[in-house]
Every structure is written in C-alpha cells, then in structure tokens.
A and B are shown apart, each in its own frame.
Chain A
Amino acid sequence: MSQPITTPRKSATFDDYAMSEIRRAAATGIYDIRGAGAKRRVPHFDDLLFLGASISRYPLEGYRERCGTNVVLGARHAKKPIELRIPITIAGMSFGSLSANAKEALGRGASTVGTSTTTGDGGMTQEERGHSSLLVYQILPSRYGMNPDDLRRADAIEIVVGQGAKPGGGGMLLGQKITERVAGMRVLPVGIDQRSACRHPDWTGPDDLQIKIEEVREITDWEKPIYVKVGASRPYYDTALAVKAGADVVVLDGMQGGTAATQEVFIENVGLPTLSAIRPAVQALTDLGLHRKVQLIVSGGIRNGADVAKALALGADAVAIGTAALVALGDNDPALEAEYAKLGTTAGAYDDWHEGRDPAGITTQDQALMARLDPVKAGRRLANYLAVMTLEAQTIARACGKSHVHNLEPEDLVALTIEAAAMARVPLAGTNWIPGGGAF
C-alpha cells in the first residue's frame, strides 16, 4: 500500500495573483499601473432588492403610464441650469486617455438620448464639443488645456477634487499615449510618463474653494451650473463642504469608478464603495435643507437600470457612467479575444488602458487602432444602452408605483446582506433591522 500523500495546497493569502505581483514587482522595479476601477468584491447594488408594489402600494402600468426621467441640474445659482432627459450622464474621461473617435462616440450617444458628456484631464476637443449637445467642462488640478474660451463654450463646469478610483491621487498618462496632439494640448514633452497634480494649484481647503467657485462664476457671468466632484472618502463632510463652497451639483464617485491609469494598490485600497457613500452624502444635503435643490450625481460601478434605480432610491438625482459607457462602445468585447490574448489578457479583464494598445480603438492614441472605432456606430450602441438602462429604471419605478424615477425612496429597498443593509441604511430583507446607525 502506497504512502498517502498530502494534496498540494495553495495559500489563500499568497494566492496566484498575489505571488505574480511580487514577482512582477521584483522583476520590473515599478508598481502595477492599470486602468478601470476596483475589481475586488465589495458590497454593491446587487446586494439590494426592490420590494415592488403590494396591497398597500399601487403600481403603474409598464410602458403606458407616465414615469418621468428628466433631471434639472444647477438651478441653485446658475442663470442657465441644464436639463437632462434621462438621469444618466457620461462621466469625465480625458482626451488622451481616450481616442478622439471614442470622445466623439460618447458625445453622439449621449446627445441622442438627451444627456451630457464630460471632458477630462486633457482639455476640450472639437470632436466632443461638436458632438455633445450638453458638455460639462472639468477644472482639474493639472489644468491641462484650461482656457476661458472653452469655459464659456461649456454647458456646465465641474471642479474635480478627486475621483473614486484614487481619492487623493492625480492622473497618469504614460508615454505611449502622449502623442504630439495630446502633448500639445497639455503643454508637455511628447512621450513622457505624465503625472497630473493631485492638488489644485490655486486653492487649498473649503474656504478657498468657495472663492474659486465664485471666480469661475464671475468669469462665466453666473450662467453655468458648477459641479464639485469628489471621490468617495468622507462623503458626509465632503458633500457639506462642497455645498458650503457654493456647488450647484455634487458628483460622488465610488471606488469602483474607473480611471485611465492609476496604481493598482491605490485603486483597490483607497476610498469607499459606491453603495456606502450615497446615504452620508444625502444626509448632508438633507441636514442642510438642500436635498433635491443641490443635485447629487453618483458614479462608480453603475451597470444597468436596476443600479440606476437603486442609486436614485437612495437619494441621488442622477448617475454617471464611465466604464459601462466604454463597454457599450466596444471595450473588452469577446469578439476581440484573439487580440486580447496577444496582449497577455482576456476579454473582460483587459485593463492596461495606459499602454495605448487597445484593440477596440477606445483607450488609445494609435491612429490605426483608433480608426477601428466607428464613432457613428459606437455612438448608436451607447444611445441604445442608455435608452435600455432608462427603460429598466422606469420599469422598476413603475413597479414601485412611482410616476417619476426621483420618487423612488429608501423605503422601496431591502438588503440581502447585513453589510449592505448597514451601508445603504435599509432593512435586511425579511426584517425591520437596519444595522449600524449613529453619526457619519
């Protein structure tokens, strides 16, 4: 009888991924940089369910009975607030990280369904201004491409304090994507590994931010809505401070929110999951008597109409999508599997957006690759996707008896896990128990 052997056992702590990262760091001497948002499992909208109608709740007929989806942004101070037909916007993504065709496609898709797109850390391109009926112009710490003409050409202005993938970190754009056009817009040498600033150059803290917002309003004659975007970090206080500084709209980005290029360690270990950030932000607005007066846009991991409905039910006025919009354009499409394999990855996992070799032609500045993306067709796909998400959110809202998606409320929700119940401040399913509590 042979000697029994012990089955080889891999460590749960030192798993294949952790060890591959150790080997990669040892070999290359540089941390892992990648695109996209947090990939780890965190409590999310999947952990919530809607209750729907019942004897005490009267549903609306699907398709036929009206269920509004419009949202007005910026009525607090701006002379010219903007109105979106759907409560889903396109988040800020830079020209540089994205190709010009991708930016055009985002503009085309969003405009078709009556919503806005947003510039990014590289200035405003003619492609996106020309094809976006509503364009939000970001003021970032780097101020690449910042100029008063584009400020005035924008429909709204977003001061970016942080983003969910990297609260406290600046952007990166590696040399492969710093082409002559990108370098020219950013006033940088061609081909360098570019690091965007993590702090604004001319203001520090909420009192300064208030003065900065006032300056932007003065430059634009108080016409444009001014958003303040924060990464989900201290959402109660950040929301309150943004409001105190005079924001018309607060944009709150959770850790699942994507980035063009950031250190993996940053993406996965800094910031809050989207689900946990919404209620504190809404509470801050409520405490100030400004919920629904200062609008809250939530982003980070929004994928479908259910996610939209859940974010709105928790108190958001709208959501923003970035990664999902890129997928709609064609990012990570299994049809390109052979090319992903050549890059050492697989469809669905491709996140080396900083390398500029995207076979889908989206996260690249390579002219040949970029030409693969037809902005008209890709824009149509995005418009379809946005329309479907809106229909899905309406379907849920009608099932809950709501004539406008903004009438969804936390009372319509339950949670599947204790963690999600505590974060979303809704009862654990089948109970009346909301764990947690206390001040934020």
Chain B
Amino acid sequence: MNASEQVVDLSTTELRDLNSALHKLRPDTNQTLWRIANPRGRHSVAVGVDAPVTIEIDGHVGYYCAGMNKHAKVVVNGNAGTGVAENIMSGTVHVKGDASQSAGATGCGGMLIIDGNASARCGISMKGIDIVVKGSVGHMSAFMAQAGSLVVLGDAGESLGDSIYEARLYVRGKVQGLGADCIEKPMTDHHKAKLTAKLTAAGVTGVDVGAFKRYGSARRLYHFHVDNVY
C-alpha cells in the first residue's frame, strides 16, 4: 500500500458507505488510488463513480460492478457478474478474470477489457463503448448494438449482432452464427487501423489484425416492411 492509497475492506465497511465516499470525489481529488478488499461477490461495487481515480478490486464482484462509470479506471482482480460496466460513459473497466452476461450493456463510452471470457449478451445495446474480450463471448452478443466496437480475440456464440445498428464487431475466432440483419463486411485497411488502435488501447499487442473478420449491419431492418421480417 502506498501512502495515498485508500483501502476499503468490504468485510467491515458497508457497500453504501464505499459508494457514497466514491461519489464525493471531485475531479481534482488527491485520493486517486483506491483498493477494495473482500468484495466477496457483492453487487454494485464502485457504481456511479465520476472522478479520474483508479479503483482496484481484489476479488470477485457480483452484478453491475462499475455501472455508469465516468472517468475512473476500475480494475477487477477476479471475475465479474452480470452487467459489469453497464452504461459506462467514460473511463476504463478491466476484468482480469471472466465476466458474466450483459458485460458492457448499453455502454456509451469508455473501454471495457475482459482478459477471460464473457458470457451471453456481451455488448448488448452498446452505444459507443469499446469492448475488448481476450477470450470468447456467448450468444446474442452485440444484440441491438448501436455504436462502438466489440473486439473478440476468441470465438462468438450464436446470433452475434442480432438486430445490430451501427456498432462494429471484430472476431478473430469462429462465429457460431450471425443474428438477424448482421452480416460479414470487408476488412479494409481503414478497419485494420481502427482495430489496431482499439487493441493497443486495451494493451493487446502482437496480434495479427488480418486474422479478424468484421461484422456489421445489413441495414435491412432500418425500415419496416414485410419483406424484411426475419
């Protein structure tokens, strides 16, 4: 522990008190490093933070860790439950283990990095977030994905990108199946450069971006007509 590090032990501190303390941080706070011990799968750890601080969580967390995060860098040294970084606005959330379903759901900005695998609905309704999953993602990932990018170094489950809008999906491994209105698109140099930038931002190096395939919207569902029904 360094001198300025704030340590909060969730076995002795109420979650409500932790989140309340984090909400009181101003942009110019000097309490820039927080360490959370004994999360023990608690839900809603470090939600609604709006300050440029680093929060290291030593252990597994439950639902919605770092939900609606702004500016903060949140590191989970463990696994994360449903909806990690849901509706994140900015900042970075880094899960060192695996993540459950709906990781990064509706995220509007910032970056979510998952070192392990993510379960179903990863990036559902994403609205600008960048998600990098070093493992694989489950079924219905990027469902109704509006904007942002989902990068998967492993495989993707069934119905990837179902009803997708304008988000960009990059998958290096096998895609079990594409959802409604989701199609494979050409991987141009422009897209390779974009993908390289995302990977670099996520700290992933030494990866051949040429091995990825790109997926996006066929835009057939953009206007109602019986001939476009799936």
Q: A215, B67: Cβ atoms under 8 Å?
A: yes
Q: What sequence of 0s and 1s flags, for each residue 200-212 of chain A, a beta carbon within 8 Å of any chain B beta carbon?
A: 0111000010011
B50 to chain A: which residues have CB within 8 Å?
Answer: 148
A153-161, A217-225, A277-285 - the one binding chain B: A217-225
Q: A219, B165: Cβ atoms under 8 Å?
A: no
CA distance A214 to B47 in the complex (A): 11
With contact pairs A148-B70, A192-B223, A202-B124 given, residues A208 and B19 touching in the complex (Cβ less than 8 Å) = no
A146 to chain B: which residues have CB within 8 Å?
Answer: 87, 106, 108
Q: B83, A220: Cβ atoms under 8 Å?
A: no
With contact pairs A188-B146, A221-B19 given, residues A215 and B166 touching in the complex (Cβ less than 8 Å) = no
Q: B125, A147: Cβ atoms under 8 Å?
A: no
The yes or no answer to A189 lying at the interface (CB within 8 A) is yes
A202 partner, pick from B23, B106, B223, beta carbons under 8 A: B106
Q: What sequence of 0s and 1s flags, for each residue 219-230 of chain B, a beta carbon within 8 Å of any chain A beta carbon?
A: 001111111000
Q: Which of A368-408 contact B (CB under 8 A)?
A: none
CA distance A95 to B67 in the complex (A): 25
B102 to chain A: which residues have CB within 8 Å?
Answer: 201-202
The yes or no answer to A29 lying at the interface (CB within 8 A) is yes
With contact pairs A146-B106, A215-B64, A219-B48 given, residues A202 and B224 touching in the complex (Cβ less than 8 Å) = no
- List the B residue with the shortest CB-CB distance to A172: B224
A51 to chain B: which residues have CB within 8 Å?
Answer: none
B21 CB → nearest A CB, Å: 11
With contact pairs A148-B70, A187-B108, A211-B63 given, residues A197 and B144 touching in the complex (Cβ less than 8 Å) = yes
Q: A189, B165: Cβ atoms under 8 Å?
A: yes
Q: B64, A202: Cβ atoms under 8 Å?
A: yes
The yes or no answer to B16 lying at the interface (CB within 8 A) is yes
A204 CB → nearest B CB, Å: 9
B47 to chain A: which residues have CB within 8 Å?
Answer: 215, 218-219
Q: A147, B223: Cβ atoms under 8 Å?
A: no
The yes or no answer to B89 lying at the interface (CB within 8 A) is yes
CA distance A220 to B70 in the complex (A): 14
The yes or no answer to A24 lying at the interface (CB within 8 A) is no
Q: Which of B51-77 contact A (CB under 8 A)?
A: 62-64, 67-68, 70
The yes or no answer to B25 lying at the interface (CB within 8 A) is no
Q: What sequence of 0s and 1s flags, for each residue 95-112 of chain B, a beta carbon within 8 Å of any chain A beta carbon?
A: 000000010011010000
Q: B106, A30: Cβ atoms under 8 Å?
A: no
A352 CB → nearest B CB, Å: 14
With contact pairs A148-B68, A218-B19 given, residues A211 and B87 touching in the complex (Cβ less than 8 Å) = no
The yes or no answer to A142 lying at the interface (CB within 8 A) is yes
B71 CB → nearest A CB, Å: 11
- List the A residue with the shortest CB-CB distance to B144: A197
A148 to chain B: which residues have CB within 8 Å?
Answer: 48, 50, 68, 70, 87, 89
B124 partner, pick from A33, A201, A221, beta carbons under 8 A: A201
Q: A189, B222: Cβ atoms under 8 Å?
A: yes
A211 partner, pick from B62, B68, B108, B125, beta carbons under 8 A: B62
CA distance A146 to B216 in the complex (A): 24
Q: Which of A197-253 contact B (CB under 8 A)?
A: 197, 201-203, 208, 211-212, 214-215, 218-222
With contact pairs A187-B146, A211-B43 given, residues A201 and B106 touching in the complex (Cβ less than 8 Å) = yes
B43 to chain A: which residues have CB within 8 Å?
Answer: 211, 214-215
The yes or no answer to A143 lying at the interface (CB within 8 A) is yes
CA distance A52 to B143 in the complex (A): 56
B86 CB → nearest A CB, Å: 5
Q: A142, B108: Cβ atoms under 8 Å?
A: no
B47 CB → nearest A CB, Å: 5
A188 to chain B: which residues have CB within 8 Å?
Answer: 146, 165
Q: A201, B105: Cβ atoms under 8 Å?
A: yes
Q: B105, A202: Cβ atoms under 8 Å?
A: yes
A147 partner, pick from B63, B86, B89, beta carbons under 8 A: B89
CA distance A202 to B64 in the complex (A): 9
The yes or no answer to A21 lying at the interface (CB within 8 A) is no
A219 to chain B: which residues have CB within 8 Å?
Answer: 19, 44, 47-48, 67-68
Q: A193, B16: Cβ atoms under 8 Å?
A: no
The yes or no answer to B218 lying at the interface (CB within 8 A) is no
The yes or no answer to A410 lying at the interface (CB within 8 A) is no
The yes or no answer to A175 lying at the interface (CB within 8 A) is yes
CA distance A135 to B143 in the complex (A): 31
The yes or no answer to A39 lying at the interface (CB within 8 A) is no
- List the B residue with the shortest CB-CB distance to A222: B16
CA distance A23 to B19 in the complex (A): 59
- List the A residue with the shortest CB-CB distance to B48: A219
B48 to chain A: which residues have CB within 8 Å?
Answer: 148, 151, 218-220
Query: Which of B48, B62, B166, B224 counts the most chain A CB atoms within 10 A?
Result: B224
A206 CB → nearest B CB, Å: 14
B105 CB → nearest A CB, Å: 4
Q: A193, B19: Cβ atoms under 8 Å?
A: no
- List the B residue with the shortest CB-CB distance to A142: B125
Q: B223, A187: Cβ atoms under 8 Å?
A: no
Q: What sequence of 0s and 1s flags, for each residue 27-39 of chain A, a beta carbon within 8 Å of any chain B beta carbon?
A: 0011001000000
Query: Which of A29, A219, A220 counts the most chain B CB atoms within 10 A?
Result: A219
Q: Which of B176-230 contact A (CB under 8 A)?
A: 221-227
B20 to chain A: which residues have CB within 8 Å?
Answer: 221
A80 to chain B: which residues have CB within 8 Å?
Answer: none
With contact pairs A148-B89, A221-B19 given, residues A143 and B106 touching in the complex (Cβ less than 8 Å) = yes
The yes or no answer to A195 lying at the interface (CB within 8 A) is yes
- List the A residue with the shortest CB-CB distance to B123: A201
Q: What are 6 A-B pairs with beta-carbon distances under 8 A?
A: A143-B105, A147-B68, A201-B102, A201-B124, A202-B63, A212-B63
Which positions in A face B, CB cutoff 8 Å? 29-30, 33, 142-143, 146-148, 151, 174-175, 186-189, 192-193, 195, 197, 201-203, 208, 211-212, 214-215, 218-222
Closest 3 CB pairs of A and B: A219-B48, A202-B83, A29-B226
Q: A148-B70, A215-B67 are in contact. List 14 more A-B contacts (CB 8 A).
A: A143-B127, A147-B68, A148-B48, A189-B222, A192-B222, A201-B102, A202-B64, A208-B63, A208-B82, A211-B43, A211-B64, A215-B64, A219-B48, A221-B20
